[in-house]
Amino acid sequence: MTPPVARAAGARDSAILPRGVAIVLSLLAGAGAFMLFLQFGWSDGRDVVDVLRAALILISTWWLAWGAVQGLMGLTTRAEPPARALEGPLTERCVVLVPVYNEDPVTTFSRVAAMDESLQATGQGHLFHFAILSDSRNETIAARERLWFLRLVQDRKAEGRIFYRRRTDNKGKKAGNVEDFIQKSGGAYDLALILDADSLMEGATIVEMARRMQAEPDIGLLQTLPVVTRAETRFGRAMQFSAAFHSPVFARGLAMMQGRTGPFWGHNAMVRVRAFAESCGLPELRGKPPFGGHIMSHDYVEAALLARAGWRVRLDDDLGGSFEEGPENLVDHAKRDRRWCQGNLQHARLLHAPGLKPWSRFVFFQGIMAYISPLFWIGFMLASIAAPFFAPAPDYFPEPYWPFPIFPQAEASKAIGLAIGVFGLLILPKFAVALHAAMSGRARAFGGPVRAFASMLAELLFSSLSAPALLAYQTRSVFQVLLGRDGGWPTNNRGDARLSLGEAWAASHWVVSTGLVGLVGTWYLAPGLVVWMLPVLVPMMLSPVIISWSSRPATSRIFTTPTDLEEAPVMRRQREILGQWENEMIAMKDVSLTAEVSHAGV
């Protein structure tokens, strides 16, 4: 199957201009930082360390500016409706794929029940099936999956509409799980909605996605922007607010730049089954993990393969009703991020894959940069500490036969200006989003402009305190991958996220030691830099306290999000179904205990 030629080959890529603007602006910001730092560094004489530091600043500033420009594009553009509307009824059949891996089946299947009910309410439910694809290795969990699948089918009267199968071999992890289904059963469907175990989507959203796919046959993949929901801890609430408040703006900018070669984030996205089957067969890379074996960050690769085959991959950021859940503490976030780090660095082997679109290669490069960028900042800090040992001796008589000394011109103002500029690239986009939200009325959904602004400031403060520990985890992950250590595919923790101070210490004592060594080393080797290093080193030394405190349940009304003020119908229904099932489980346990007591003659 090939994409419609007239649309796929002849359509003009409207993303060329935004991409060019973003690249030029970010490079100009990096070049400006480079020149400014050189002027500061060379004020006491020229040496190679100053050139190295300026080069590291150039790369780091370019990366920060790239993100800032993406946010600016999101603020200055608006999502447009699809170019074509569906004429006639929806006729293409769709399967909703729910891959599970050692998940709690009661919670996961209650989401399936709520989505099925929501789909039936649209009047189009007969065109949608569900397939629960189990990769669970735990036999007890697998037995519960079979039991609760029967309960799910019974409750929804869905025999022949909701299916379950468990693989005996989980080769390829989630990507292999989906690929196995498409190879064996995909021919029965035109479209497939790929979810995660914690995904939840409104039936109307799913139907609208199918309408857009049917109306534009050259779309191979349609990605929504999932909204993080139901966070309970301080860490989770801060991340949930940031995702709800800032992510739509940055996603709008990303959609502008991606154009026809959009992103795939692995879930809450709809694919055209035959396009996916014919284009997205993933190779197993030669060698051992972490750089060999099955492709871990498969979603980016599948999007690139669809684009290579001529299919459109599109992010429709105007679609609502798409939800997911996130990690509830910093340690769980770091564990998940370790897997993403390995997957993104593995893409280095795919940069020269034949036939890929240039933008797809650039997306791979961006994913790699997202994880190695902390190394440039660390390199800059280490080079700055070492700089005094390489600086040339001051020459106060550079002019021959001139009897009076010439003192170097102070360039401290340039260093301060550079610091302000770098800090501005980090915080100004967030302030701009808050201002735009207040002026456009979007802030009302976050409790009003005042609360939204207070939440933004609190999230900015928290992210500033937690960023050094997160960057430390990220840097360790990069070195682990480079040293050949395979992180595997750990199970997500969806239980109690609270961490005691002792547990937080056990997970981050090495971060504390690194911060302490950095502070002592800076004090001894370059005491003038201590004040500049404190915002990084002090949070590192306090990381157990930050991790433990932020894993506690949130009690304040800050970090309000739209789903807090008005719960989506599918979310409310899933909560009701889950509560009903959990109450029945408790009742069953009570009956079982009573029977045991009676049998014992007590």
What integer is the mean pLDDT of 540-557? Answer: 95
In terms of pLDDT, which residue wins out, 587 or 386? Answer: 386
- What are the b/e assignments for 210-224, b being 16+ CB within 10 Å? bbbbbbbbbbbbbbb
Residue 4 pLDDT more than 60? no
What is the predicted pLDDT for the residue at 596?
Answer: 39
Any domain includes 262: no
Any domain includes 150: yes
Residue 601 pLDDT more than 70? no
Any domain includes 271: no
In terms of pLDDT, which residue wins out, 592 or 281? Answer: 281
Residue 374 pLDDT more than 80? yes
Distance of CA 372 to CAs 59, 341, 368, 375, 476, Å?
A: 11, 9, 6, 5, 11
What is the predicted pLDDT for the residue at 598?
Answer: 45
Q: How confident is the model at residue 71 (pLDDT cuts 50, 70, 90)?
A: very high
For residue 176, the enclosing domain spans 91-215+567-602
Which residue is it, tokens 């509830």? 328
What is the predicted pLDDT for the residue at 240?
Answer: 97
Q: Which residues contact 393 (CB under 8 A, 6 or more apart)?
A: 45
Long-range contacts of 28-33 (CB under 8 A, 24+ apart): 29/61, 29/62, 29/64, 29/65, 29/68, 29/421, 29/425, 30/57, 30/58, 30/59, 30/61, 30/62, 30/65, 31/58, 32/61, 32/421, 33/57, 33/58, 33/61, 33/418, 33/421, 33/422
- Are 495 and 359 in contact, with CB atoms under 8 Å apart? no
Residue 599 pLDDT more than 50? no
Any domain includes 533: no
What is the predicted pLDDT for the residue at 217?
Answer: 95
What is the predicted pLDDT for the residue at 44?
Answer: 61
What is the predicted pLDDT for the residue at 386?
Answer: 87
In terms of pLDDT, which residue wins out, 257 or 597? Answer: 257
pLDDT digits (tens, 9 = 90+) for 482-492: 999 998 777 77
pLDDT digits (tens, 9 = 90+) for 152-191: 999 999 999 999 999 988 888 999 999 999 999 999 999 9
The average confidence (pLDDT) of the chain is: 89
CA atoms within 13 A on the CB side of 310: 14
What is the total count of domains within the chain?
1
What integer is the mean pLDDT of 23-41? Answer: 89
What is the predicted pLDDT for the residue at 39?
Answer: 81
Torsions phi, psi of 438, nearest 5? -70, -40
Sheet holding 200-201, edge to edge: 200-201, 322-324, 227-228
- Residues above pLDDT 70, as percent of the chain: 90
What is the predicted pLDDT for the residue at 590?
Answer: 47
Any domain includes 154: yes
CATH number at residue 117: 3.90.550
Q: Which residues contact 77 (CB under 8 A, 6 or more apart)?
A: 252, 253, 256
What is the predicted pLDDT for the residue at 126?
Answer: 95
What is the predicted pLDDT for the residue at 12?
Answer: 54
Q: Which residues contact 460 (CB under 8 A, 6 or more apart)?
A: 427, 430
In terms of pLDDT, which residue wins out, 518 or 490? Answer: 518
Highest mean pLDDT among 223-227, 386-390, 525-529 belongs to 223-227
What is the predicted pLDDT for the residue at 392?
Answer: 58
Any domain includes 145: yes
What integer is the mean pLDDT of 291-316? Answer: 95
Strand partners, 222: 270, 314
What is the predicted pLDDT for the residue at 152?
Answer: 97
